[in-house]
Amino acid sequence: MKQLSEIVHNSSKDERDILLEYQNIDVSKLETLNVLGIPIDNVTTDEAIAKLFRVLEKKEGMHHVLFLDPIKLMRMRPKKALHRIAEKAGTILVEGAGIGWMTKGRLKERVTPIAVMMDLIRLAELKEFTAFIFGAKDEIVERIYFNLTRHFPKVRIVGRHAGHLDRQREMRVKEAIRKTGPDIIFLAMDFPEQEIWIENNTGYFGKAVVIGVGGALDMLSGADKKAPEWFKERGLIWLWRIIARPYRIRRMWETFYFILLGIRERFRKH
């Protein structure tokens, strides 16, 4: 997995080209794909950013960007307790490989939290959108903040806080978000705590685009060394976590059931 400096140096487009590409995408024609009862945005990374660009410009209300991998998909299906979160999400993107296999190639591409985060940071610098970073460990947050402000000196990061807070510090973070009124919030927690925290605190977010980026901050900073590169590059970190922690029986069962449902979906006529 490439770190932040590598990702930044690989971007060679000038400002005008970036904005024109997003503005030329007709977001009214973007399609959704129903996967196990969840309407997934069937988009490329550029189309996802174009959609969020319009949301940021309109500022009509809080917009939750939800990333799905097979485990999250299994936990958010209809009749599951967490399905309510998928129903409320404004954008649902596929980050984990496996869902594409289930759709028999109909999914345009896998859209990763890192790609969305970096493209939105670039867009925020050009359009003067503000950002707030919350989650991960203190040293990770500070490293990300230092690198982002070094590579994108005009970006306005109006707040940054580590996760794992006690109740008092958590209230201070919520108030900081409410008072600064950021346009974009990057939230890095584990699943499903991350999604539940977003659901429970919508009143503090104003009209922000709230993105649950999970372990993206760890990977961008180079701190996540657990998953081998082969798994990272193929969107199989979720599978590596199950292999590395076989005592998580529930996730092993969900993975097995996902494969069975995937086989059923692949043979079903659409």
Determine the pLDDT at residue 76.
Answer: 94
Rounded to whole angstroms, how far apart are CA atoms 117 and 124?
A: 10
Q: For 183-208, write each residue's pLDDT tens digit.
A: 999 999 989 999 999 999 999 999 99
Structure tokens given for 94 = 């596929």
Paired strand residues for 157? 131
Beta strands in 191-239 (DSSP E): 209-212
Biggest alpha carbon distance in the chain? 53
For the CA atoms of 190, 191, 192, 196, the dihedral, rounded to the nearest 10 degrees, stands at 60
* pLDDT value of residue 237: 62
- The rounded distance, in Å, linking the Cα atoms of 216 and 141 is 11
Give the C-alpha separation, 151 to 121, whole Å.
10
pLDDT in tens, 122-154: 999 999 999 999 998 899 999 999 999 999 999
pTM: 0.83
- Counting residues of the chain whose pLDDT is more than 70, the rounded percentage is 76
**pLDDT score at 10:** 47
Work out the average pLDDT over 92-101. 87
pLDDT at 254 over 80: no
- Of 224 and 140, the structure prediction assigns the larger pLDDT to 140
For residue 13, name the pLDDT band (cuts at 50, 70, 90): low
What mean pLDDT is reported for the chain?
Answer: 85
Q: To the nearest 10°, the Cα dihedral for 200, 61, 153, 44? A: 90
Of the two residues 151 and 165, the one the predictor is more confident about is 151
In this prediction, residue 247 carries a pLDDT of 45
pLDDT of residue 40: 97
Q: Give yes or no for residue 71 having a pLDDT over 80.
A: yes
In the three-class reduction of DSSP (H, G, I as helix; E, B as strand; rest coil), residue 145 is classed as helix
Is the pLDDT at 3 greater than 50, yes or no?
yes
Question: What is the Cα–Cα distance from 73 to 256, expressed in whole angstroms?
Answer: 13
Instruction: Please tell me the predicted confidence (pLDDT) of residue 179.
Output: 97
The Cα 247–Cα 95 span in angstroms is 24
Give yes or no for residue 162 having a pLDDT over 70. yes
Does 192 sit behind a cis peptide bond, omega within 30 degrees of 0 on the bond before it? yes
Confidence of residue 1 (pLDDT cuts 50, 70, 90): very low
